[in-house]
Structure 1
């Protein structure tokens, strides 16, 4: 059973204050470097950098040189997808819009695209946004990236500015884009950690865009091309995305996401040696993650955790819970070690109270390490009571002060 400890004396109050201080460090645990599980058996992958995270919690399961600066190659197209998703959600772009292909997006007239991944667009063609999106995601078409960026923003530079704007907004610390497709360019860089955050943000914010990443092939102008993410064909893993990339400078890159039971993992590898090594190593990390960890959902959003007294209210108690689902990453068979502490900000809660008002927080601990912290909110509205009810509560307060003097 999970144990719940409530604040009820000075000692526990001091502990809760300490927990609050500690949580400032752990609240953005995806940036934390400490392995809080003390695992020594993580896979030894011989690549430049990698990271494996739990999607639901952001917990780092293992990493190597995750903040080392590398070239993104076509993984940059994830941010291209993100900007497209934003434009679609705001109604500035529609899937059935027709885009006229300019000279900049015409591979024959652009030496930059020589030998790279293409949708093979032709000058003057009119292509639907829906097909261009598939060309970007499934064919990794550099020409398609240029075409849609010009349609959305007028030119590539403006679109790249949007990429960098949203990169900062979702929390990327060491990423900068210079073009819309990811081909090597001086001053364009990223890290494994940032790519993982970028992938997580795409899955969370634009699930419809992300759903295209699991499609295995796309035929355009009678040209059949397979998705380059070989893990999509692996029957031992439920991989549903997301992207591979390769240039001479970057090496073989991949970000892949897979699900098992209630768990979703995201793995990023940058700078692998070959396409097959990239597949083998990313699969190894995903399998290790699923074999070693579990994601649990001990509290559902808006589920009642407790009822606490209210003074001067129409009702004497209010139900408290969390606004979002609570997810925790734990080692397998660690459930019995979880301790839960919850505390309320003030000793006495006064009405009126508004629905979703933050009243305290709930903290989850294993082996003296915080693995999660969530705000506790009011699950309902409590208006101020009538004069008679307020007078009774006032008398209660006076008696309480008198008794404790």
Structure 2
């Protein structure tokens, strides 16, 4: 989830553009023009939006739906509810010949009554974009497609995808099914952040099920030697157009692009590449506060300890112009006196990140440890000390 304290990229750009030009290596050019109905580019670590157009326009997700199917499967694997070596019996609904809905769509080519492993089905979903594999996996995880769709929508709410609703496990057009470029980018961020083992499959370029010819991953950017792309997912239906959510890494920076409503199969790759190249050329991710490293140590009242360390549990990431990461300064403000008991992660104030003296980002300042309440006599003594402190300060 994105922090409520984070400032928009527009404020970042305003702060940078108003700085002395001598402090900039070169100005940041305009966002490239793309031939697509909607798009967005985000920094995967900071969550900041670098570019967007119609990013909250309601769109048909097509096979981008499989990112959420994969997210649910990944959660089931991570929790131990299912295992990679589980064997799944293919039902008639997951058999293209027996289910007219699947006719002419992308398939893993499952056969009714045969058994296939969860591991193979997962690759069939991610690499082959198999609609039949989605059905078989949904039935194994949740008992039915309907129950699995409910899980998809529940996870969408938890992740914060406020403009997305699923009606199918595979993404074929259906009334009431919709998403946005913005939601798909943040779904990609959740996959990368929450389920690294599941996400590692997305970079695989081909998969062979049975002895037939291997099927190639539809994400052509995986073969692009000028970008370090390791995911994520393509999608296409007549209603949706050509969709692609892509992610690439350059040093400490990971970007995620979502291009929806592209004109052609290759066009969605070309437009996605324009966004990613622009982003990497002019921006980088700064990590001014490391995970678990205190920004400050402050007094805590009524606790079984007198001092508490404050910072960011998972570290703080912000997006800055290329070459400026080392120039970021950190200031903090505490809301009030800090009282025990307190739980690790509880916010007690905010951190401000400054570049050229201007605030470009704010994030919560949180407790880095649990501190329990002290006993009766310790509490009495702290009360006396606190009254004196308030009186003289």
Counterpart of 1:235 in structure 2 is: 225
Secondary structure of 2:350's aligned partner: strand
**CA distance in structure 2 between the aligned counterparts of 1:207 and 1:343, rounded to whole angstroms:** 34
Matched, 1:226 2:204: no
**CA distance in structure 1 between the aligned counterparts of 2:148 and 2:378, rounded to whole angstroms:** 62
The answer to whether the 8 A contact 1:45-1:281 is kept is yes
Number of residue pairs aligned between Structure 1 and Structure 2: 377
Counterpart of 1:292 in structure 2 is: 282
Matched, 1:138 2:97: no
C-alpha distance 349-190 of structure 1, shift in aligned 2 (>3 A): closer
Secondary structure of 1:341's aligned partner: strand
Shift of 1:67: 0.7
**CA distance in structure 2 between the aligned counterparts of 1:172 and 1:399, rounded to whole angstroms:** 46
> So what's the TM-score if we normalise by structure 1?
0.84
Secondary structure of 1:48's aligned partner: strand
Deviation track 1:372-391 (CA, whole Å, cap 9, x = no partner) reads 31223154748749969976
Shift of 1:318: 3.9
Counterpart of 2:152 in structure 1 is: 163
Matched, 1:125 2:144: no
Listed as ranges, the gaps of 5+ residues in structure 1 are 1-23
Counterpart of 1:152 in structure 2 is: 141
The answer to whether the 8 A contact 1:132-1:144 is kept is yes
Where does 1:7-86 land on structure 2 (aligned, <5 Å)? Answer: 27=5, 34=10, 36-38=12-14, 41-86=30-75
> So what's the TM-score if we normalise by structure 2?
0.87
C-alpha distance 82-306 of structure 1, shift in aligned 2 (>3 A): same
Secondary structure of 2:31's aligned partner: coil
**CA distance in structure 2 between the aligned counterparts of 1:180 and 1:350, rounded to whole angstroms:** 48
Q: Judge which range, 123-132 or 87-96, deviates more.
A: 87-96
C-alpha distance 322-278 of structure 1, shift in aligned 2 (>3 A): same
C-alpha distance 325-113 of structure 1, shift in aligned 2 (>3 A): same
Counterpart of 1:258 in structure 2 is: 248
Counterpart of 2:18 in structure 1 is: none
Shift of 1:285: 0.6
C-alpha distance 97-37 of structure 1, shift in aligned 2 (>3 A): same
Indicate the RMSD between aligned Cα atoms, in angstroms: 2.8
Secondary structure of 1:181's aligned partner: coil
Matched, 1:361 2:356: no
Secondary structure of 1:198's aligned partner: helix
